[in-house]
């Protein structure tokens, strides 16, 4: 009986030691790692949220920048209408009108709209047209490039390539 009692005590002592070892491992090893993992998960979720917010901000900024640079169709249309009406009044024949991407200006209320013009006209009419550009009411126009060649087929006329920059009031009021 004593042997059985000794066996039972040893089994209980061994079981207690295993239980203490298990609890020690749980509280001193597993539990701190579990807490560290929770903190890391929280940090990752926070970083993901910040990254998503930053991505949305970059996308929004990119859209704003694209809208800001491209200009609105309305601005380009108004500028080109005023330009072509003046040309028509001066007997100018536009063979091509190519708007380029809008450019920003130091003043946020304005936008520069470069427009490439290919023109056929008499020399005098072209001179009157270019001189009249300073009198446009809705835009300020500068001629940045000007090339003239004689029209081979029609000696009384010339062909010209002109790059104008029209500074127009933004329809979105600089937003």
**How would you write the chain as a 3-class SS string?**
CHHHHHHHHHHHHHHHHHHHHHHHHHHHHHHHHHHHHHHHHHHHHHHHHHHHHHHHHHHHHHHHHHHHHHCCHHHHHHHHHHHHHHHHHCCCEEEEEEECCCEECCCCCEEEEEEEEEEEECHHHHHHHHHHHHHCCCEEEEEEEEEEEECCCCCCCEEEEEEEEEEEECCCCCC
| Same-domain check for residues 42 and 107 | no
Q: For 5-14, 51-60, 166-175, which range has the lowest pLDDT when averaged over its residues?
A: 166-175
Instruction: List the Cα angle 40/46/52 in 5-degree steps.
Output: 135
Residue 147: inside a domain, yes or no?
yes
Asked if residue 84 and residue 16 are part of one domain, the reply reads no
84 shares a domain with 54: no
Boundary-marking domain end, from 70, 90, 112: 70
pLDDT band per the 50, 70, 90 thresholds, residue 65: very low
Q: Tell me: do 86 and 54 sit in the same domain.
A: no
- At residue 173, the pLDDT reads 52
Q: 111 and 55, same structural domain? A: no
Same domain, yes or no: 42 and 108: no
Does 174 fall in a domain?
no
pLDDT tens digits for 92-125? 999 998 888 878 777 777 778 888 999 999 989 9
Q: Is the dihedral of CA 64, 68, 71, 72 positive or negative?
A: positive
Check pLDDT > 70 for residue 165. Answer: yes
Are 3 and 64 members of one domain? yes
Instruction: Read off the pTM.
Output: 0.54
On whether both 32 and 78 belong to a single domain, the answer is no
| Residue 115, domain CATH | 3.30.70.60
In-domain check, residue 175: no
Domain assignment of residue 22, yes or no: yes
Shared domain for 48 and 98, answered yes or no, is no
Which region among 10-24, 71-85, 155-169 has the lowest average model confidence (pLDDT)? 71-85
Query: Do 1 and 23 fall into the same domain?
Result: yes
Number of domains forming the structure of the chain? 2
**31 and 113 inside one domain:** no
Domain range for 131 is 71-169
């Amino acid at each position: 009986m004593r042997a059985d009692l000794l066996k039972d005590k040893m089994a209980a002592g061994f079981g207690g030691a295993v239980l203490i070892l298990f609890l020690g491992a749980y509280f001193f090893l597993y539990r701190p790692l579990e807490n560290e993992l929770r903190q890391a998960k929280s940090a990752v979720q926070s970083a993901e949220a910040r990254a998503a917010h930053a991505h949305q901000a970059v996308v929004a900024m990119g859209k704003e920048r694209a809208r800001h640079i491209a200009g609105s169709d309305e601005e380009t249309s108004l500028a080109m209408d005023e330009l072509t009406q003046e040309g028509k009044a001066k007997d100018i024949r536009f063979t091509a009108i190519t708007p380029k991407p809008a450019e920003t200006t130091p003043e946020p209320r304005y936008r520069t709209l470069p427009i490439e013009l290919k023109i056929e006209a008499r020399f005098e009419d072209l001179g009157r047209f270019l001189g009249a550009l300073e009198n446009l009411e809705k835009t300020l126009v500068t001629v940045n490039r000007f090339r003239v060649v004689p029209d081979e087929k029609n000696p009384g006329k010339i062909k010209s390539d002109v790059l104008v920059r029209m500074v127009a009031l933004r329809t979105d009021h600089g937003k």
